[in-house]
Amino acid sequence: MWLCGHGKEGLKHTDIFLDKDVKLPVNASDYMQSPKAELWTKKSPVGAECVSVNELPPGSHVLSIDTAKAPEKHVHELSHVITW
């Protein structure tokens, strides 16, 4: 799976969390990240715009992107997700 931003390095300073085996509420906007969500470190850059998220386990999961550790003026963006 690739997570991509439209601009160069839009995901550079982000942390990705994996919330495993999630049962989403009827209204997905009511989803709250579980305290059991783990920082996913199995990732690698793909060019300047994408991050490859590797070795995801089988199941129904939610990935979240945290920008708290990024420099204040860094612009973050997620424009598309590529799966296969």
Domain boundaries defined on the chain: 2-25+33-82
Using one digit for the tens of pLDDT, what is the confidence trace for 44-79? 988 888 899 999 999 889 998 887 777 777 777 788
C-alpha distances out from residue 60 to 1, 9, 28, 75, Å:
14, 28, 13, 29
Query: How high is the pLDDT of residue 65?
Result: 85
Structure tokens at 62: 């939610």
* Distance of alpha carbon 55 from alpha carbon 40, whole angstroms: 10
Mean pLDDT of the chain: 86
**pLDDT at position 40:** 95
Calpha distance 11→15 (Å, rounded): 9
Q: How far apart are the first and last CA of the chain?
A: 7
